[in-house]
């Protein structure tokens, strides 16, 4: 079993964003059933966010209500929460100032009402305006050392940020995008930096924002909120569908669902590459139903020969378009 923040976790975690960050969030009872299914299927690492939805309906509010009903589950879950963004006029802009760092952490802790400790806290993005030593100094001294939270993670960072951060504090994980669609961290030094410092990678969007789950046939199948993103623009969308079709063919060949192949490929990369990649990579697919959780949680064995075949197939394909719109910071 992988070790994260000093505790055993399942090889596949659970991303909570879709439960609350939506124009019409799923009903609370459905969200509870989804979370319960995640835990029952070994996905005991949960990744949520202060800004995953409005303050009255974000991950922390949902979690507080869940653990109020199921207090026995709290100790079984390893919880990571993203915060550190400005929630005021410039919402969703990273703000690593001392004032906002304390505000974010205090608010996240308060929203849980003591029902669950935050095991890992991460800024959603690095704030280039504030030295890491200032931001992390506050988190380490005032929150980690006092036992208010368990540890510190990084999110959507470049290799240089990882090398800098480990000189300031212990980094328990690095959350970055990794999928058959987004393999950049294997080449841009991020995976190598994590390997050098023995830091587990948390792989978000392992099913390529739905492409690798076999969901899309036309643009009408895409959630409206995503249709303006580069991958879904005319020209890019059709090119990306071609790559998705190849993944579907590989899944059929393997006898599994496309999402299962994509998720387990991310799990397997560490042992397959054997160098320049951290020992632990934990994909965190999201889901809004218990049925989807059960599908995503299935551990599928992929042999070296199968990994080699998959690598050969995808080597000639690169996702068309940038991962995010221009206004969203990446590789911070």
Residues designated as active site: 52
Structure tokens at 308: 């080699």
Structure tokens at 91: 């919402």
Q: What is the DSSP letter of 142?
A: I
Strand partners, 45: 78
Distance of CA 7 to the CA centre of its chain: 18
Neighbours of 110 (CB within 10 A): 11
Q: How far is Cα 92 from Cα 168, in angstroms, rounded to an integer?
A: 25
Structure tokens at 288: 């809004």
Instruction: Label residue 195 left, alpha or beta by phi (over 0 means left) and psi (-120 to 50 means alpha).
Output: alpha
What are phi and psi for residue 94, nearest 5 degrees?
-60, 135
DSSP 156-186: S--HHHHHHHTTTS-EEEEEEE-SSS--GGG
Q: How far is Cα 218 from Cα 122, in angstroms, rounded to an integer?
A: 35
HSE of 176, CA atoms in CB hemisphere, 13 A: 31
Q: How far is Cα 106 from Cα 320, in angstroms, rounded to an integer?
A: 40
Q: How far is Cα 235 from Cα 177, in angstroms, rounded to an integer?
A: 23
Q: Which residue has the tokens 């990306």?
A: 240
Q: How far is Cα 318 from Cα 38, in angstroms, rounded to an integer?
A: 31
Q: Are 211 and 241 in contact (CB under 8 A)?
A: yes
Neighbours of 235 (CB within 10 A): 9
Nearest to 17 by CA among 71, 82, 67: 82
């Amino acid at each position: 079993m992988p070790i994260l923040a000093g505790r055993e976790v399942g090889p596949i975690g659970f991303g909570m964003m879709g439960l609350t960050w939506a124009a019409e969030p799923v009903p609370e009872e459905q969200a509870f059933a989804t979370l319960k299914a995640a835990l029952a299927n070994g996905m005991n690492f949960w990744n949520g966010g202060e800004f995953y939805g409005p303050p009255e309906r974000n991950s922390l509010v949902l979690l507080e209500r869940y653990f109020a009903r199921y207090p026995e589950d709290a100790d079984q879950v390893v919880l990571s929460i993203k915060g550190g963004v400005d929630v005021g006029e410039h919402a969703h802009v990273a703000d690593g100032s001392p004032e906002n760092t304390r505000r974010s952490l205090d608010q996240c802790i308060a929203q849980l009402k003591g029902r669950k400790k935050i095991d890992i806290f991460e800024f959603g993005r690095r704030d280039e305006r504030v030295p890491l030593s200032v931001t992390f100094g506050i988190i380490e001294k005032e929150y980690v050392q006092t036992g208010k939270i368990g540890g510190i993670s990084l999110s959507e960072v470049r290799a240089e940020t990882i090398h800098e951060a480990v000189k300031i504090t212990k980094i328990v994980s690095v959350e970055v995008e990794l999928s058959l669609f987004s393999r950049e961290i294997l080449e841009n030094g991020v995976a190598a930096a994590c390997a050098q410092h023995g830091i587990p990678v948390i792989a978000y969007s392992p099913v390529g924002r739905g492409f690798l789950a076999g969901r899309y046939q036309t643009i009408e199948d895409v959630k409206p909120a995503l249709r303006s993103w580069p991958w879904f623009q005319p020209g890019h969308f059709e090119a990306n569908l071609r790559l998705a079709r190849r993944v579907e063919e590989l899944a059929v060949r393997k006898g599994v669902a496309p999402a299962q192949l994509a998720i387990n490929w991310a799990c397997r990369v560490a042992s397959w590459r054997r160098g320049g990649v951290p020992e632990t990579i934990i994909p965190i697919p999201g889901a809004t139903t218990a049925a989807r959780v059960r599908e995503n949680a299935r551990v599928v064995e992929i042999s070296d020969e199968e990994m080699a075949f998959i690598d050969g197939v995808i080597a000639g394909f690169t996702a068309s378009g940038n991962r995010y719109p221009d206004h969203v910071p990446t590789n911070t």
